[in-house]
Amino acid sequence: MPHDHHDHDHLSPSDHPYRSDDDVPLTYWQQMEIALRELLIEKGVTTPEEIARQIDAMDARSPANGAALVARAWTDPAFKERLLQDASAASRDMGFDIGPLRLIAVENTAQVHNVIVCTLCSCYPRNLLGLPPDWYKSRAYRSRTVKEPRKVLFEFGLTLPDETTVRVHDSTADMRYIVLPARPKGTDGWDRDRLAELVTRDSMVGTGLPSTPA
Amino acid sequence: MGHVRAPAYLRGRIGTIERPLGAFPDPERLAYGQPAPARALYCVRFTMAELWGDSAESPSDTVDAELYDTWLERLD
Amino acid sequence: MTNTPSFYGRRWHDMGGSKAGPILDETHDFALWEKRVDALMVLCSGKGHFTVDGLRRALEDMGEAAYEEMSYYERWIATISQNLIEAGVITQSELADRMAQVAVRGDTYGEASRA
């Protein structure tokens, strides 16, 4: 078969080196991946190039995509309206390839703080934000967020006022959710690129807030 | 039994429809490779007080979940 | 108001509201083999060989021990294989024979995947 695709061995979207996996002992499940991949290629179900393209497409998705949406919504009221009406369409307007993702944006305000979870599996807006962090898929996060979201948020370093309503979204079916966080104070006049740098992944899941201006 | 997409913690609880989400093939049939008729899907909002009673962390906080009409019963 | 009743139909993966420990702020960068599992999942479901619902069903049927003991993409490669066998795309013996061939190519993922 053609040589392996090694272009992914550089840096991840979070600027960390990918875990080296060429020199770790071969596991049973890695054997299964290799065997299945080869069989699917031989049977014409897919090709090495198609697999490499799919990996590239997934690698290109990162929280920076969501940050760009949020920053535009903070500066462009008509876009914000569109984002809240139809976040999939707004994402495509921005040129993001989100595949069949059905995205709903929920807005944080002075009165409401939104947080996203999937209690049944680990649904996540991966076609916009990239693959989820491990904690999002953990038993602790999936179990506790629908019952004690304030304690969970506290563990992420976020304490909300009693008068703020916490609105948890359990992604149980075909929709995926992104939080539109509130624009930080002290950012008047900032352009979109500068604002986007404040928008963290966690602020779009609801387990954090945007960074505060330095 | 089987693949079910209505979480146990919501079953038998009273919520309000926040918005209709459209119709989608029934995931509980798709999971077994069977013909999956489209089912109406709703975003339903529950208060923490309704879900957890006296042990609610903050009674007026809410949970929104997506539920198919097969799992919903109208309250008149 | 009563506490949450226990449901006979509640299965291990249906975790909402259960007691659990602290959230550990953990994540890792994905290994190449994990990205390949992810790509195979997207490509095969996109081509109609299975649905994500079918994967979830197989994952749930693997049981709680698999969730605790296997990593995320270990569980996914198992469920992808299960669904492709059910769909008739591959057979059990094809997969077993190829895995045995892969196993003797070398001691590392790199050696085994470059043959």
pLDDT in tens, C32-87: 999 999 999 999 999 999 999 999 999 999 999 999 899 999 999 999 999 999 99
ipTM (interface predicted TM): 0.95
Tell me what pLDDT residue A3 has.
40
In-domain check, residue B40: yes
Tell me what pLDDT residue C89 has.
98
Cross-chain residue pair C14–B3, CB shorter than 8 Å = no
Mean of pLDDT values over A12-28: 62
Q: Which residues of A touch B44 (CB under 8 A)?
A: none
In-domain check, residue B9: no
In-domain check, residue B32: yes
Q: Which residues of B touch A150 (CB under 8 A)?
A: 57-58, 61
Q: Which domain holds residue B33?
A: 22-70
Of B24, B27, B57, the CB nearest to A151: B57
Say if residue C54 is exposed, middle or buried (CB neighbours under 10 Å; 0-12, 13-18, 19+): buried
| CA-based nearest distance B34→chain A, Å | 18
CB-based contacts of C12, cutoff 8 Å, min separation 6: C60, C63, C64, C67
Q: Collapsing DSSP states into helix, strand and coil, what is residue B16? A: strand
- Beta bridge partners, A104, equal A177
Residue A18 has pLDDT above 60, yes or no: no
pLDDT in tens, A105-145: 999 999 999 999 999 999 999 999 999 999 999 999 999 99
pLDDT in tens, chain B (76 residues): 788 889 999 999 999 999 999 999 999 999 999 999 999 999 999 999 999 999 999 999 999 999 999 899 888 7
Tell me what pLDDT residue A7 has.
42
Q: Domain count for chain B, please give it.
A: 1
Residue A26 has pLDDT above 80, yes or no: yes
Tell me what pLDDT residue A140 has.
96
Residue A189 has pLDDT above 50, yes or no: yes
Tell me what pLDDT residue C5 has.
52
Mode of pairing for the β-strands spanning B62-68 and B38-47: antiparallel
Residue of B nearest to C60 (CA): B3
Domain chopping of chain A, boundaries: 8-59, 63-205
Tell me what pLDDT residue A77 has.
98
Residue of B nearest to A119 (CA): B7
Mode of pairing for the β-strands spanning B38-47 and B16-25: antiparallel
Decide: A47 and C96 in contact? Cβ < 8 Å.
Answer: no
> Which helix (H) or strand (E) segment is C44 a member of?
helix C32-46
Tell me what pLDDT residue B4 has.
86
Tell me which of A35 and A21 has the higher pLDDT: A35
In-domain check, residue B6: no
CB-based contacts of A199, cutoff 8 Å, min separation 6: A63, A66, A67, A70, A71, A181, A210, A211
* Chain B CB within 8 Å of residue A92 CB: no
Q: Indicate the angle between helix axes A48-59 and C32-46, nearest 10 degrees.
A: 110
What fold is seen in the domain A63-205? Answer: Nitrile Hydratase; Chain A (3.90.330)
The mean-pLDDT minimum among A7-16, A34-43, A74-83, A134-143 falls in: A7-16
Q: What is the CA radius of gyration of chain A?
A: 19
In-domain check, residue B76: no
Residue A39 has pLDDT above 70, yes or no: yes
Local confidence band at A22 (pLDDT 50, 70, 90 cut-offs): low
Domain chopping of chain C, boundaries: 42-113
